Structure 1
Amino acid sequence: MNTILNCLVQQHDWRILPFALLVSVFSLLIALCLFDRARNVARRSRRVYLIAVPLVAGLGVWSTHFIAMKAYDIGVPARYDVSETAASLAVVIVAFYVAMHLALADVGRMGRLVAALTCGLGVAAMHFLGMSGLRLSGAILSWNAPLVVVAVIGGMLLVSGVALLPWRVGAKRVIVATILAALGVCWLHFVAMSAVVITPTPGVILPVAAAAETTLTLWIGASVGLLAIIAAFLTGMVWWSRHSALGQLREAIEAMPDGLGFYDADDRLAIWNRRYTEINPEVTAALKVGVTFREVLMAGINAGLYPAALGRESAWIAERMANRRRPSGAMEQQIGGRWLRVQDRKTAEGGTVTVCSDISDMKRDAQALAEARDAADAANRAKSQFLANMSHEIRTPLNGVIGVAQALARTDLNEQQHEMLELIHSSSRTLQTLLSDILDLARVESGRLELGDEPFDLTRAVEEAGQLYAAAARDKGLQFFVEVAPEARIWMHGDAVRLKQILTNLVSNAVKFTASGFVSLTVDAGPQGLRFVVQDTGIGFDAETRDRLFSRFEQADGDITRRFGGSGLGLAISRELAAMMGGGLGCESEPGGGAAFILTLPLRPAEAPAPTPTLVASEDSVFVETTRRLRILVADDHPTNRRVVELILDQAAVDLVSVEDGAEAVEACRAAPFDLVLMDMQMPVMDGLTATREIRLHEIAMGMPRTPVVMLTANALPEHIAAGTEAGADRHLAKPFSVEALLAMVQELTTDAPQAAERAA
Structure 2
Amino acid sequence: MSQEIAGSPQADHGKFQARTTDGLPRAPFYWAAGLTLILACGPFLPFVKLFPTPASYQPVHTLLEFIAVAVSAMVFALGWNLRRQEENSQAVLLAAICLGFVLVDLAHTLSYQGMPDLVTPSSPEKAIFFWLANRMTVGLALFAVAILPPQRWSAAASYVALGTVIAVSGLVWWIGFYHLDMLPRTFIPGQGLTPFKIIVEALAAAIFAIAALLLLKRAWRERQANLAWLAAGAWTLALAGPFFIIYHDITDLFNLLGHIYMSLAYLMIYRALFVAGVAAPYEALARQRALLRSLIDSVPDLIFFKDRRSAYLGFNQAFAAYSGRSEKVMIGKTDFDFAPPEVAAFYRQKDVEMLAAGRPVSNEEWIDYPDGRRVLVETMKTPLRGPDGELLGIIGVSRDITERKLAEAALRASEESLQAYRGHLEELVAARTRELEEARAEAERLARVKSDFLANMSHEIRTPLNAILGLAQIGERQQADPKARDSFRRILDTGQMLLGVINDILDFSKIEADKLSLEDGTIDLGQMIDDAVALVSFRARSKGLDFKVDKAADLPAACRGDPLRLSQVLVNLLANAVKFTKQGQVSLAISRNGDTLVLRVADTGVGIGPEHIGRLFVPFEQADGSTTRRFGGTGLGLTICKRLVDLMGGEIRVASVPGQGSTFEVHLPLEEATPPAAAPAAPAPTGHRLAGLTLLAAEDNPVNRTVLEDILALEGARLVCLEDGCQALERLRRDGQEAYDIVLTDIQMPCMDGYEFARHVRELAPTLPVVGLTAHAMAEERERCLAAGMVEHVAKPIDIDGLVAVIRRYARPPAATAAATPEPTDDSAIDWGGLERRYRGRQAFIDKIFAVALEHCGETPAALREAARSGDLERIGFLAHGLKSTTGNLAVPGLQDLATRTEQAARQAAPETRALAAQLAAGLEHLLAEIAARRPAPSACA
Q: TM-score, normalised by structure 1?
A: 0.51
Q: Which residue of 2 aligns with 1:636?
A: 699
Q: Which residue of 2 aligns with 1:686?
A: 752
> Deviation at 1:650?
2.3
Q: Which residue of 2 aligns with 1:311?
A: none
Matched to 2:760, the amino acid is E
Q: Which residue of 2 aligns with 1:7?
A: none
Give distance in 2, aligned partners of 1:167 and 1:600.
54
Give distance in 2, aligned partners of 1:754 and 1:608.
38
Matched to 1:689, the amino acid is Y
Q: Among residues 760, 770, 775, which one is paired with 1:714 in the alignment?
A: 775
When residues 576 and 665 of structure 1 are mapped into structure 2, their CA distance, relative to the original with a 3 A threshold, is same
Q: Which residue of 1 aligns with 2:571?
A: 504
Contact 1:631/1:756, CA 8 A, preserved across alignment: no
Q: Compare 357-366 and 718-727 and name the one that shifted more.
A: 357-366
Give distance in 2, aligned partners of 1:439 and 1:711.
20
> Does residue 1:666 correspond to 2:729, yes or no?
yes
Q: Which residue of 2 aligns with 1:3?
A: none
> Deviation at 1:418?
4.2
Give distance in 1, aligned partners of 2:529 and 2:677.
21
> Deviation at 1:411?
2.8
Q: Which residue of 2 aligns with 1:744?
A: 805
When residues 412 and 442 of structure 1 are mapped into structure 2, their CA distance, relative to the original with a 3 A threshold, is same
> Deviation at 1:727?
1.5
> Does residue 1:488 correspond to 2:555, yes or no?
yes
Q: Which residue of 1 aligns with 2:660?
A: 593
Q: Which residue of 2 aligns with 1:352?
A: none
> Deviation at 1:546?
0.7
Contact 1:620/1:743, CA 8 A, preserved across alignment: no
Q: Secondary structure at the match of 1:549?
A: coil
> Deviation at 1:367?
2.2
Q: How does 1:400-439 map to 2 (within 5 A)?
A: 400-412=467-479, 414=481, 417-439=484-506
Give distance in 2, aligned partners of 1:566 and 1:401.
21
Give distance in 2, aligned partners of 1:741 and 1:727.
22
Matched to 1:644, the amino acid is V
Q: Secondary structure at the match of 1:566?
A: coil
Give distance in 2, aligned partners of 1:553 and 1:754.
54
Q: Deviations over 1:268-303 (max 9, x none)?
A: xxxxxxx98x85xxxxxxxxxxxxxxxxxxxxxxxx
Give distance in 1, aligned partners of 2:414 and 2:592.
62
Matched to 1:378, the amino acid is R
Q: Among residues 686, 690, 696, which one is paired with 2:762 in the alignment?
A: 696
Q: Deviations over 1:626-645 (max 9, x none)?
A: 5xx32111211111111111
Q: Deviations over 1:643-680 (max 9, x none)?
A: 11112122343221111222222222222231121111
Give distance in 2, aligned partners of 1:643 and 1:165.
95
Q: Compare 635-644 and 666-675 and name the one that shifted more.
A: 666-675
When residues 618 and 421 of structure 1 are mapped into structure 2, their CA distance, relative to the original with a 3 A threshold, is closer
Give distance in 1, aligned partners of 2:500 and 2:680.
33
Q: Which residue of 1 aligns with 2:670?
A: 603
Q: How does 1:3-18 map to 2 (within 5 A)?
A: none
> Deviation at 1:596?
0.6
When residues 722 and 109 of structure 1 are mapped into structure 2, their CA distance, relative to the original with a 3 A threshold, is closer
Q: Deviations over 1:371-427 (max 9, x none)?
A: 211221122122212211111111000111111111122233656544543442232
Matched to 2:567, the amino acid is K
Q: How does 1:100-115 map to 2 (within 5 A)?
A: none
- Percent identity over the alignment is 39
Q: Secondary structure at the match of 1:645?
A: helix
Q: Which residue of 1 aligns with 2:190?
A: none
> Deviation at 1:258?
8.1
Matched to 1:643, the amino acid is T
> Deviation at 1:108?
12
Q: Secondary structure at the match of 1:682?
A: coil
Give distance in 2, aligned partners of 1:598 and 1:359.
55
Matched to 2:746, the amino acid is D
Give distance in 2, aligned partners of 1:663 and 1:109.
86
Contact 2:693/2:814, CA 8 A, preserved across alignment: no
Contact 1:463/1:482, CA 8 A, preserved across alignment: no
Give distance in 2, aligned partners of 1:166 and 1:422.
90
Q: Deviations over 1:18-49 (max 9, x none)?
A: xxxxxxxxxxxxxxxxxxxxxxxxxxxxxxxx
Q: Deviations over 1:334-385 (max 9, x none)?
A: xxxxx64xxxxxxxxxxxxxxxx73321222122112211221122122212
Q: Deviations over 1:659-716 (max 9, x none)?
A: 122222222222223112111122122111111111011124xxxxx12221111112
Give distance in 1, aligned partners of 2:415 and 2:647.
47
Q: Among residues 374, 388, 397, which one is paired with 2:441 in the alignment?
A: 374
Q: How does 1:142-291 map to 2 (within 5 A)?
A: 260=417, 279=421
Q: Which residue of 2 aligns with 1:731?
A: 792
Q: Deviations over 1:136-161 (max 9, x none)?
A: xxxxxxxxxxxxxxxxxxxxxxxxxx
Q: Deviations over 1:185-206 (max 9, x none)?
A: xxxxxxxxxxxxxxxxxxxxxx
Give distance in 2, aligned partners of 1:413 and 1:619.
14
Matched to 1:749, the amino acid is Y
Q: Which residue of 2 aligns with 1:454?
A: 521
Matched to 1:735, the amino acid is K
> Does residue 1:546 correspond to 2:613, yes or no?
yes
Q: Deviations over 1:222-279 (max 9, x none)?
A: xxxxxxxxxxxxxxxxxxxxxxxxxxxxxxxxxx99885xxxxxxxxxxxxxx98x85
Matched to 2:701, the amino acid is H
Q: Which residue of 1 aligns with 2:545?
A: 478
Contact 1:258/1:358, CA 8 A, preserved across alignment: no
Count of residues in correspondence between the two structures: 413
> Deviation at 1:574?
0.8
Q: Which residue of 2 aligns with 1:286?
A: none
When residues 571 and 410 of structure 1 are mapped into structure 2, their CA distance, relative to the original with a 3 A threshold, is same
Q: Which residue of 1 aligns with 2:343?
A: none
Q: Among residues 697, 705, 713, which one is paired with 1:650 in the alignment?
A: 713
Q: Secondary structure at the match of 2:459?
A: helix
Q: Which residue of 1 aligns with 2:463?
A: 396
When residues 649 and 167 of structure 1 are mapped into structure 2, their CA distance, relative to the original with a 3 A threshold, is closer
Q: TM-score, normalised by structure 2?
A: 0.41
Q: Among residues 658, 675, 680, which one is paired with 2:741 in the alignment?
A: 675
Contact 2:654/2:663, CA 8 A, preserved across alignment: yes
Give distance in 2, aligned partners of 1:756 and 1:432.
36
Q: Which residue of 2 aligns with 1:183?
A: none
Contact 1:633/1:676, CA 8 A, preserved across alignment: yes
Q: Deviations over 1:58-109 (max 9, x none)?
A: xxxxxxxxxxxxxxxxxxxxxxxxxxxxxxxxxxxxxxxxxxxxxxxxx999
Contact 1:483/1:521, CA 8 A, preserved across alignment: yes
When residues 610 and 438 of structure 1 are mapped into structure 2, their CA distance, relative to the original with a 3 A threshold, is closer
When residues 404 and 166 of structure 1 are mapped into structure 2, their CA distance, relative to the original with a 3 A threshold, is closer
Contact 2:595/2:671, CA 8 A, preserved across alignment: no
Contact 2:701/2:723, CA 8 A, preserved across alignment: yes
Give distance in 1, aligned partners of 2:817 and 2:694.
7
Q: How does 1:261-340 map to 2 (within 5 A)?
A: 279=421, 340=423
Q: Secondary structure at the match of 2:591?
A: strand
When residues 617 and 420 of structure 1 are mapped into structure 2, their CA distance, relative to the original with a 3 A threshold, is closer
Q: Secondary structure at the match of 2:616?
A: helix
Q: How does 1:130-141 map to 2 (within 5 A)?
A: none
Give distance in 2, aligned partners of 1:358 and 1:756.
81
Segments of 5+ residues of structure 2 without an aligned counterpart are 1-320, 325-369, 375-412, 819-942
When residues 419 and 651 of structure 1 are mapped into structure 2, their CA distance, relative to the original with a 3 A threshold, is closer
> Deviation at 1:754?
4.9
Q: Secondary structure at the match of 2:670?
A: coil
When residues 536 and 109 of structure 1 are mapped into structure 2, their CA distance, relative to the original with a 3 A threshold, is closer
Give distance in 1, aligned partners of 2:371 and 2:489.
102
Of the two, which has the highest radius of gyration?
1
> Deviation at 1:479?
1.3
Contact 2:700/2:724, CA 8 A, preserved across alignment: yes
Contact 2:768/2:812, CA 8 A, preserved across alignment: no
